[in-house]
Structure 1
Amino acid sequence: MLVLLPPSETKADGGRGAPLDHAALSFPELNPTRAKIADALVELAGDVPASIAVLGITERQAGEVTRNAQLWTSPTMPALRRYTGVLYDALDVKSFTRAGLEKAHRRLAVTSSLFGVVSATDPIPAYRLSGGNSLPALGTIRGMWKPALEPVLQNIEGLVVDLRSGTYSAFANLRPDAVTVRVVTENARGERVTVSHFNKAYKGRLAHVLAVTRAEPSTVDQLAKVIRKAGLTVERTGDHALDLITEG
């Protein structure tokens, strides 16, 4: 089983790992595209006003440009510790046992504008690049990744659970049998509607459950059973679709 997570705009500072080395990352087929994007991002960082405009940030966030300038020299840390925010708070990687971390490395992967996709423990630096950005030297990030990333993700064996956001889903289509999960709530009329406020938190909780479970689900029904056993409410809504129902 592989669970695909979205990244986060916010990222932890620092790290104790050696500087970025693409050879240390999973999915080595992506390294040529990774290198092109990294080099273009570092080059762009030489022009702070241009970087601010391209990245869609404010002058008060100019420190993000410094991160990009130091992409090849700054320390790294495991991807699940680098990404921060609501989803990753709910994932709660700090609570994982050693065995849980080993499972997470096999089962969790993060989509990324800079790296395409990385495994949970891949060592990455802090950076700023969003899925909707375009780099002057390369064009849209989506356009860069789709031809490189799609065949890699479609060749993954076993059950694939897609928790990506819309922006990152556009990077690559998955196999038709990949399981999509929608976070919903029921309104006063009993209708199910997608939610935004709890979306990331519930996806983080779900990712935690799937990372540490002793089970090895290989079908949609087995996946749903694991989720329900963990106390979450889930319902199958299609051949390869689940609704994760929030409490309100």
Structure 2
Amino acid sequence: MLVLLPPSETKATGGRGAPLDLAALGHPGLTAVRRTLLDALVALAADVGGSLVALGLGPKQTHEVARNAQLLSSPTMPALQRYTGVLYDALDARTLTPRARARLAVSSALFGLLRATDPVPAYRLSAGSTLPGLGGLRTLWRPVLTPTLAAVDELVVDLRSGAYAALGPAPGAVTATVLTERPDGSRTVVSHLNKSHKGRLARALVSSRAEPHDAAGVARVAARAGLRVELVGEHEVVVLTDDAGHAR
């Protein structure tokens, strides 16, 4: 089983690893697109104003442009340590076993697909960004990322957001949706709870001794971890919470 995580806009700073080496990353079939995007981001960083517009940033986020300018020289750290935020707090990757971490991968607008241990620098690029001369990222990634994911010979549990899933669909994957159920029975998506419970679900799946082969297996593991889940067809599970974020 491979659990595919979304990235985060926020990244941890620093690192102790050597500067980025594309040859050290997994999935070498993605190297050409990675190099194209790296070169484009570094070049764009020379134009701070243009970078802010292309990356959808505000005037107080020029430090993100500075990060991109140093992509090829700044220190690296493993992907699971680089990404931060609500989902990654709930995942608590530092306390996972090596076996559990090996069952995780991260989707990335810049790198396509990362193993948990792949060493990467801090950067800023989102799935919806449009870089000058390159256009939308979906056009670049889809032809190489989709076959990469299709070649995974185990169940993929896809926890990415829609924008990142569009970069390269994972054929046959089990997807998960988190919905908040109100007292009147209505259901809605709440961003904060969505991320937190996806982190909990990911942790439960990779920590389990079970090896799910379908959505029903994913639901069983989630239920044993205290999550309330429902099956929706053959390839989707829904995780339900209440307004306070508790599993219901």
Task: Pick the TM interval, shorter chain.
Answer: over 0.9
Counterpart in 2 of 1:240? Answer: 235
Displacement of 1:9: 0.5
What does 1:152-191 correspond to in 2, within 5 Å? 152-175=148-171, 177-191=172-186
Deviations 1:191-220 (A, max 9, x none): 333332300000011111112212221222
**What letter is aligned with 1:102?**
R
Q: Secondary structure at the match of 2:192?
A: coil
Deviations 1:80-114 (A, max 9, x none): 11001111111111222xxx133212x11111110
For 1:79 and 1:169, the matched residues in 2 are separated by: 18
1:24 and 1:102 map into 2 onto residues whose CA distance is 20
2:5: which partner in 1?
Answer: 5
2:101 partner letter: A
Match for residue 220 of structure 2? 225
Please, which of 203, 209, 212 is the counterpart of residue 208 of structure 1?
Answer: 203
1:127 alignment partner, one of 119, 123, 136: 123
Q: Report the Cα distance in structure 2 between the residues aligned to 1:192 and 1:130, rounded to whole angstroms.
A: 28
**Unpaired segments of 5 or more residues in structure 1?**
none
Residue 26 of structure 2 aligns to a residue whose secondary structure is coil
User: Given residue 67 of structure 1, which amino acid in structure 2 is its aligned partner?
Assistant: R
SS in 1 for 2:239: strand
> Relative to 1, partners in 2 of residues 1:241 and 1:50: Cα closer, same or farther, differing over 3 Å?
same
- Matched residues in 1 for 2:14 and 2:148: separation? 30
Give the TM-score, by structure 1 length.
Answer: 0.94
CA distance in 1 between counterparts of 2:51 and 2:98 reads 36
1:26, CA displacement in angstroms?
1.1
Q: Distance in 1 between matches of 2:41 and 2:29?
A: 20
Stretch deviating more after TM superposition (185-194 or 198-207): 185-194
Distance 1:181 1:144 in 2: 26
Partner of 2:18: 18
Measure, in 2, the Cα distance between the counterparts of 1:246 and 1:158: 29
RMSD: 1.2
Q: What is the alpha-carbon distance in structure 1 between the residues aligned to residue 192 and residue 40 of structure 2?
A: 34
Percent identity (aligned): 56
The one-letter code matched in structure 1 to 2:95 is: S
How do 1:34-183 residues align onto structure 2 when only pairs under 5 Å count? 34-96=34-96, 100-105=97-102, 107-175=103-171, 177-183=172-178
**Superposition TM-score, scaled by structure 2 size:** 0.94
Segments of 5+ residues of structure 2 without an aligned counterpart are 244-248
TM superposition shift of 1:169:
1.1
Aligned match of 1:32: 32
